[in-house]
Structure 1
């Protein structure tokens, strides 16, 4: 199980670096409540991005993004509302939900970002 958690953390590190390289500020990582976790919360201007990161060692079964189905999307919307309630001092005009699919490890990894995926 630890290898699985390390893989997820590595994917989140790559996703956070991608957001920073594209002008975003990562404002929260692995924010948790009793009903779930947000992998990354990033900000650029007045846009807040709630990002779900899915990482796989190989793409044998398609893009990792395929694992973000309707139930996960509903959960992320509820989590985003809870995050916004907990951070009332932060004002944003737009909230969007991205999915980041990371396939592979290290410098060989492929990062596909799907802005406003749902």
Structure 2
């Protein structure tokens, strides 16, 4: 596995633990369909949250949130509705939301976690 992929998986693991610690239940990880992949699907209360995780060693090439542009956000919304259609029991009666978690630092296990909620 390439270093970039290892960093991504490590960041996703850290993000999932962050969400659990914040009271979310993890419903799916690395869910795939024809539109692409969702890193994490979590739920808390009456919301199902589609989470995109971006991990970077530094912000030299921009903040992780900058990688989630309008095109990526649109794809995440398509993915969210596809996930809801595939999981009607889990999604029924819940609001869909798309969040981004950014982790910037050499070691994803200790780097700060930033959580941007409800991106549109």
TM-score interval, normalised by the smaller of the two chains: over 0.9
Unmatched segments (≥5 aa) in structure 1: none
> RMSD value over aligned CA atoms?
1.3
- The Cα of 1:110 is off from its aligned counterpart by 1.3
SS at match of 1:96: strand
Residues in 1 aligned to 2:113 and 2:69: alpha-carbon distance in whole angstroms: 19
- The Cα of 1:62 is off from its aligned counterpart by 2.8
- The Cα of 1:77 is off from its aligned counterpart by 0.8
Residues in 2 aligned to 1:113 and 1:102: alpha-carbon distance in whole angstroms: 9
- The Cα of 1:117 is off from its aligned counterpart by 2.1
Deviating beyond 3 angstroms after TM superposition, the runs of 4 or more aligned structure 1 residues are: none
What residue is the counterpart of 2:34 in the other structure? 34
Q: Deviations over 1:70-116 (max 9, x none)?
A: 11011111111110111011224311110111112244311100011
Corresponding residue pairs, total: 118
What residue is the counterpart of 1:115 in the other structure? 117
Does structure 1 residue 46 correspond to structure 2 residue 46? Answer: yes
- The Cα of 1:57 is off from its aligned counterpart by 1.2
Unmatched segments (≥5 aa) in structure 2: none
What residue is the counterpart of 1:100 in the other structure? 101
Q: Kindly indicate whether the alpha-carbon contact (under 8 Å) linking 1:48 and 1:92 is maintained by their aligned counterparts in 2.
A: no
